[in-house]
């Protein structure tokens, strides 16, 4: 009996040891996160970074972590660092402690810890993967799991903490952070403690920046920027006004006052995303926030929506945070859905139902139509792959589904549900199911069953409409053969000779398959439809073309006819984009002798003195698709002397983008174009970007090979939007045959791209690589890679299928 008892004790000890060991794997596993959440509370981080003047010098740092332990057991911190010995000192409760470094974790034995309050002090070298360092600028970007690459922490969204921060800066630098500025002694800046935040929202920016202060109704905002162009700096006023308006709208809608101590922003050249919602220190890309002197309606609207989106995150994401990154879409769906509601009062002249359709349906379809489609809510076992959850489906399909949910509930009940949700989970975490439970209590609808298909299953329905006994009857097909039915209400119409015009209110979601009679009816009459119906049918035609139900030449001819008569700017811009995409994608001869129908039409609109905003949109489209010498010369003359078309005001960005396109089309003028455009670029950051990108346009293939090989090294991809643009120009459609050799090596480093890049970089890398290719040879390379690669993560494989769909799954690829 004693032997049996002893054996059982050994087995229990072994099981316990095995259980703890199993929590330690690279990344942050869901099991580890659950275990820590059950034991850790009252988290605080007191951080100190000493930033040297020399960019290649290491950053000395300290962190003191305060935490309350429910039980005494070994403590597992997250810290991924390239150095073999990044820790200088580790103390627990004031005493030196031994620790082990295992699989990206610092493991502190239980004997150093106590039940209740503990303090862990660590002196270390800061990790630099997510410290974006330039000569005179540094900023953090830690979403989704990159805080652990900067400092030791518990890098999971449901362990929120309060952050105090001190920065020692080079001479002449300024800084902002999540917390309020407290004091500065010489070059050491101290910031106040924050409200509870997840690790991915910890942020600071430091460098040579200018500060623009704004106030309204007792609220103050500071905008940090690096601009020297007075016309751009002047835009800070409208940026500030839109932030103030967004804050006021959200406070009124939610009944919750702005939940953080301040709202400051930094506008960063070459920033990886449009924006990032760090509470108190929101970061934005200069490309979106600073427009040209005469922005289009689309550009003005996109800026306002971006500001509204990031501001909505203060409540949805920062104040109430998802519990795990499988629900990251919940913060994005709120931000995007609310953004449309918030900008409506700012732009009363715009049709916002039309804007909703235009903003969300086409980009959602771009991924949901593919074999790489994924559910809105995805499985995620380890935060190492959390970045792969992001994509058009969570940003664009989710708001479409949210709008359906709002219509099922009614707008007032939905608002009441949102208020209850925010009150219940304030400064805490919640799941999608938590929200559905609250909303379910307000209605007789079975929201859980409805949301399971729309949220937890991939793909879109293929919908066929038939006229039976005078009634339109809809049938659905599940493209993945699971037998799913997507519950939705459809509004359809009929035309001549039995034609059916589907989804005329733009609320339905799916591929609405058109027969030849219906597509002919729509193409013939589309310009006479209402704006919403016109937009919806334009999208239907485009999707049918991609699916092989409509010939590309019929589609492009129809869009050209539409553009000649279109006066609604949102529709005109979307139609021009579809025309560009179809022309590039299905172009057989990229060295045409003369202008085609599309080029002639776009030039006609460009050169029309009464074209207005349409002229700018048409010119941009023309620069992308023109391959004949006549069109290229026309563009060159406008670029060289913009004043020749007095009715168009081309921004510096327009002229730079045009210079890139011209360098591709005029190899003999490559050096002259470079010198001329470089001379008229203002701002050091934009000059650096131009000099980085321009070699990818070289007529010399050895130079382009050298650029490509440099992009395979992580140190040359530091500013990721620039790296993606460079890869895109290397794979421009006009050089398809010469660049096909880049496809395989660029695919082979995808795991490294995912590990070292930020959340959108794998998708952007693949898009840049594959968008210009449409030939079967390219499809063969991609398919062979997918067939032979046995280690690619399934979510990364999905990204390849999404971005390569036009060549590996298109009935129209050549």
What is the value of pTM for the model shown?
Answer: 0.94
Q: How far apart are CA 211 and CA 176, in angstroms?
A: 10
**pLDDT, tens digit, 9 for 90 and up, residues 450-495:** 999 999 999 999 999 999 998 999 999 999 999 999 999 999 999 9
pLDDT at 588: 53
pLDDT band at 16 (very low <50, low <70, confident <90, very high): very low
- Please determine, for residue 161, whether its predicted confidence score (pLDDT) is greater than 90: yes
- Please determine, for residue 19, whether its predicted confidence score (pLDDT) is greater than 50: no
Q: How far is CA 228 from CA 545, 667, 689, in A?
A: 46, 33, 16
- Residue 307, CB half-sphere, CA atoms under 13 Å: how many? 31
**pLDDT, tens digit, 9 for 90 and up, residues 752-774:** 999 999 999 999 999 999 999 98
User: Which residue reads 């905008």 in tokens?
Assistant: 223
pLDDT at 285: 98
Q: How far apart are CA 804 and CA 744, in angstroms?
A: 13
Q: Is 85 helix (H, G, I), strand (E, B) or coil?
A: coil
**pLDDT, tens digit, 9 for 90 and up, residues 63-90:** 999 999 999 999 999 999 988 789 999 9
Q: How far apart are CA 128 and CA 601, in angstroms?
A: 50
pLDDT at 10: 40
Secondary structure (DSSP) of 229-279: -HHHHTTHHHHHHHHHHHHHHHHHHHS----SS---EEEETT-SSSEE--T
User: Which residue reads 């409509």 in tokens?
Assistant: 550
> What number is the average pLDDT over the span 183-201?
98
Cis peptide before 361 (omega within 30 of 0): no
Q: How far apart are CA 39 and CA 71, in angstroms?
A: 6
pLDDT at 44: 99
Q: How far apart are CA 275 and CA 260, in angstroms?
A: 18
What does the DSSP 8-state code read for residue 23? T
pLDDT at 193: 99
Pair 443, 429: CB distance under 8 Å: no
- Please determine, for residue 795, whether its predicted confidence score (pLDDT) is greater than 70: yes
**pLDDT, tens digit, 9 for 90 and up, residues 197-218:** 999 999 999 999 999 999 999 9
pLDDT at 775: 84
Q: How far apart are CA 345 and CA 589, in angstroms?
A: 47
**pLDDT, tens digit, 9 for 90 and up, residues 321-335:** 999 999 999 999 999
Token pair of 20 as six digits: 């703890």
Average pLDDT for the chain: 95
**pLDDT, tens digit, 9 for 90 and up, residues 565-587:** 999 999 999 999 999 999 998 86
Please list the residues that pair with 468 across neighbouring strands: 471
> What number is the average pLDDT over the span 383-406?
97
pLDDT at 595: 85
**pLDDT, tens digit, 9 for 90 and up, residues 86-110:** 999 999 999 999 999 999 999 999 9
pLDDT at 17: 42
HEC string for 744-777: HHHHHCHHHHHHHCCCCHHHHHHHHHHCCCCCHH
Of residues 310, 521, 652, 720, which has the active-site annotation?
Answer: 310
**pLDDT, tens digit, 9 for 90 and up, residues 632-653:** 999 999 999 999 998 999 999 9
**pLDDT, tens digit, 9 for 90 and up, residues 276-295:** 999 999 999 999 999 988 89
- Please determine, for residue 590, whether its predicted confidence score (pLDDT) is greater than 70: no
User: Which residue reads 């002449």 in tokens?
Assistant: 172
Q: How far apart are CA 383 and CA 378, in angstroms?
A: 12
pLDDT at 813: 57
**Higher-scoring residue by pLDDT: 814, 162:** 162
- Please determine, for residue 616, whether its predicted confidence score (pLDDT) is greater than 60: yes
Pair 179, 192: CB distance under 8 Å: yes
Q: Is 141 helix (H, G, I), strand (E, B) or coil?
A: coil
Token pair of 391 as six digits: 């994509």
What is the number of other CB atoms lying within 10 angstroms of the CB of residue 12?
A: 10
pLDDT at 13: 40
- Please determine, for residue 601, whether its predicted confidence score (pLDDT) is greater than 80: yes
Strands 188-191 and 219-225 come out as unpaired
- Residue 566, CB half-sphere, CA atoms under 13 Å: how many? 29
Nearest to 490 by CA among 518, 509, 515, 471: 509
Q: Is 48 helix (H, G, I), strand (E, B) or coil?
A: strand
**Higher-scoring residue by pLDDT: 343, 82:** 343
Q: How far apart are CA 146 and CA 123, in angstroms?
A: 19
User: Is 26 an active-site residue?
Assistant: no
pLDDT at 347: 95
């Amino acid at each position: 009996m004693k032997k049996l008892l002893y054996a059982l004790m050994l087995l229990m000890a072994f099981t316990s040891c095995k259980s703890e060991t199993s929590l330690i794997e690279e990344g942050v596993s869901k099991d580890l996160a659950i275990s820590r959440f059950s034991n850790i509370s009252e988290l605080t981080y007191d951080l100190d970074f000493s930033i040297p003047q020399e960019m290649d010098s290491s950053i000395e740092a300290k962190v003191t972590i305060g935490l309350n332990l429910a039980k005494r057991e070994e403590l597992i911190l997250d810290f991924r660092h390239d150095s073999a010995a990044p820790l200088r000192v580790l103390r627990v409760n004031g005493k030196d402690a031994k620790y082990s470094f295992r699989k990206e974790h610092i493991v502190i034995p239980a004997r150093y810890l106590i039940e209740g309050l503990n303090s862990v002090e660590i002196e270390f070298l800061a990790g630099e993967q997510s410290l974006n360092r330039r000569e005179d600028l540094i900023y953090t970007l830690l979403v989704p799991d990159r805080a652990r690459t900067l400092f030791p922490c518990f890098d999971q969204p449901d362990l929120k903490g309060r952050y105090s921060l001190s920065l020692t800066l080079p001479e002449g630098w300024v800084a902002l952070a999540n917390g309020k500025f407290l004091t500065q002694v010489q070059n050491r800046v101290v910031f106040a403690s924050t409200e509870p935040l997840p690790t991915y929202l910890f942020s600071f920016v430091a460098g040579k920046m200018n500060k623009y202060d704004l106030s309204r109704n007792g609220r103050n905002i500071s905008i940090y920027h690096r601009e020297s162009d007075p016309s751009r700096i002047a835009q800070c006023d409208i940026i500030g006004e839109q932030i103030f308006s967004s804050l006021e709208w959200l406070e009124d809608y939610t009944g919750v006052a702005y939940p953080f101590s301040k709202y400051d922003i930094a506008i960063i050249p070459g920033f990886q995303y449009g924006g990032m919602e760090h509470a108190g220190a929101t970061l934005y890309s200069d490309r979106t926030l600073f427009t040209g002197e005469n922005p289009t309606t689309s550009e003005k609207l996109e800026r306002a929506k971006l500001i509204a989106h990031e501001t909505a995150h203060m409540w949805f994401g920062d104040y109430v945070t998802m519990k795990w990154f499988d629900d990251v879409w919940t913060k994005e769906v709120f931000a995007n859905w609310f953004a449309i509601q918030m900008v409506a009062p700012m732009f009363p002249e715009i049709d916002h139902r039309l804007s909703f359709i235009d903003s969300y349906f086409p980009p959602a379809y771009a991924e949901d139509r593919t074999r790489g489609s994924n559910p809105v809510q995805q499985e995620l076992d380890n935060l190492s792959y959390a970045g792969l959850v992001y994509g058009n489906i969570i940003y664009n399909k989710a708001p479409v589904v949210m709008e359906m949910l709002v219509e099922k509930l009614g707008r007032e009940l939905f608002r009441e549900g949102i208020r209850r949700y925010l009150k219940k989970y304030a400064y805490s975490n919640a799941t999608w199911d938590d929200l559905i439970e609250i909303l379910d209590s307000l209605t007789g609808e079975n929201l859980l069953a409805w949301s399971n298909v729309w949220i937890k299953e991939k793909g879109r329905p293929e919908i066929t409409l038939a006229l039976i006994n005078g009634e339109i009857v809809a049938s659905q097909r599940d493209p993945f053969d699971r037998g799913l039915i997507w519950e939705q209400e459809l509004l359809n119409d009929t035309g001549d000779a039995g034609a059916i015009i589907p989804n005329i209110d733009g609320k339905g979601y799916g591929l609405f398959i058109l027969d030849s009679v219906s597509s002919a009816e729509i193409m013939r009459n589309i310009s006479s439809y209402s704006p919403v119906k016109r937009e919806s049918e334009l999208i239907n035609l485009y999707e049918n073309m991609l699916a092989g139900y409509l010939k590309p030449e019929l589609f492009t001819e129809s869009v050209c006819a539409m553009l000649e008569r279109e006066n609604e700017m949102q529709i005109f811009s979307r139609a021009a984009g579809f025309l560009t995409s179809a022309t590039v994608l299905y172009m057989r001869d990229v060295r045409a002798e003369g202008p085609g129908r599309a080029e002639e039409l776009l030039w006609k609109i460009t050169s029309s003195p009464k074209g207005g905003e349409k002229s700018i949109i048409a010119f941009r489209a023309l620069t992308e698709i023109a391959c004949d010498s006549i069109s290229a010369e026309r563009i060159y003359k406008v670029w060289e002397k913009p004043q020749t078309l007095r009715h168009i005001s081309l921004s510096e960005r327009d002229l730079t983008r045009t210079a890139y396109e011209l360098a591709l089309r005029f190899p003999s003028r490559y050096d002259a174009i470079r010198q001329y455009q470089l001379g008229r670029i203002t701002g050091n950051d934009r000059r650096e970007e131009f000099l980085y990108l321009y070699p990818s346009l070289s007529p010399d293939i050895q130079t382009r090979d050298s650029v490509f090989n440099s992009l395979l090294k992580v140190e040359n991809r530091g500013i990721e939007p620039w790296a993606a643009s460079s890869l895109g120009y290397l794979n421009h459609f006009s050089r398809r045959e010469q660049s096909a050799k880049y496809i395989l090596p660029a695919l082979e480093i995808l795991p490294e791209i995912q590990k070292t890049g930020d959340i959108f970089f794998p998708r952007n890398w693949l898009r840049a690589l594959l968008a210009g290719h449409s030939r079967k040879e390219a499809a063969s390379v991609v398919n062979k890679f997918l067939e032979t690669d046995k280690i690619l993560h399934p979510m990364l494989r999905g990204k390849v299928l999404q971005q390569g769909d036009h060549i590996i799954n298109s009935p129209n690829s050549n």
